Amino acid sequence: MRGGRSARRGGRGGGRAARDWDGLADTILRETRRRCLSSRGHWRRAEGDDGPEAALLLPLARGCLPPDDPSGPRTRRFIAERLSEDGYLYRFGHGDRPLGEAEGAFLLCGFMMALAAHHQRDPVTAFRWFERTRAACGSPGCSPRSTTSASAS
C-alpha cells in the first residue's frame, strides 16, 4: 500500500508520521493478503468468495501493490478469463447466465484493465485493452454506459 511511502518519494521527508502510515499500510496489506488471496495466487473479492469481480482491478491500477507482485498479473488473468468476451470486460457474472445476457460490458472496466496492465509494466496488454475499449466510445469520447459486443462492432 502507498501510505507514507508516497510522502517519502515526493521529497516531503519521512518522520514518525510516515513510518506510522507505512506500518499501518503494511499491516492492512498483510491481513488482507492472508484473508483474500486465493490459493491460486489471485485476489478474491472477499474472504471465502472466489467469484470474479472487475473491481479487483482498481487497487492494481492505483498501485496498492508493487508492479512486480505476482498476484497482480494472476488477478488480471483470472478476471480476463472469466469476465471478458470479444475484447470487452464485464463487471461481474450473473450466476450461470452468459456474459452480456443480463447487462452489457462496462467500458470503465476495460480502461481499468488497461491501467492495471500499465502499472504492472505490461505495455502491450495495456495498449490492447485501451484501444479495444476506446473503439467502443462514441464521437464525444468515453461513454460510461455499458455496451455489447454487437453494438460496438
Instruction: Name the phi and psi angles at 37, rounded to 5.
Output: -95, 125
pLDDT(41) > 90:
yes
pLDDT, one tens digit per residue, over 52-63 is 999 999 999 999
Across the chain, mean pLDDT equals 86
At 84, which amino acid appears? Answer: S
Q: Does a structural domain hold residue 45?
A: no
Flag whether 44 is in a domain.
Answer: no
Q: Does residue 29 lie within any of the structural domains?
A: yes
Is the domain of 15 the same as that of 83? no
30 with 86, same domain?
A: no
Percent of the chain whose pLDDT exceeds 90: 65
CA distances from 137 to 1, 84, 101, 108 (A): 32, 17, 21, 11
Does residue 134 share a domain with residue 60?
A: yes
Q: How many CB atoms lie within 10 A of CB 38?
A: 14
- Residues 134, 73: one domain? yes
Output the pLDDT for position 101. 86
Question: 97 with 136, same domain?
Answer: yes
**Which pLDDT belongs to residue 62?**
94
- pLDDT tens readout for residues 62-117: 999 999 999 999 999 999 999 999 999 999 988 889 888 888 888 999 999 999 99
Shared-domain flag, residues 69 and 116:
yes
Whole-number Å distance between alpha carbons of 75 and 43:
6
Q: What does the alpha-carbon distance between residue 54 and residue 133 come to, in Å, rounded to a whole number? A: 14
Number of domains into which the chain is organized: 2
The answer, as to whether pTM is greater than 0.85, is no
- Judge whether 111 and 119 are in contact, CB under 8 Å: no
- Residue 43 maps to a domain: no
- Does 57 reside within a domain? yes
Identify the domain containing residue 11 by its residue range. Answer: 1-36
Considering the domain architecture, whether residues 68 and 104 belong to the same structural domain is answered as: yes
Is residue 3 included in any domain, yes or no? Answer: yes
State the Cα–Cα distance between residues 19 and 6, nearest whole angstrom. Answer: 11
Closest by alpha carbon to 50, among 25, 78, 27, 18? 78
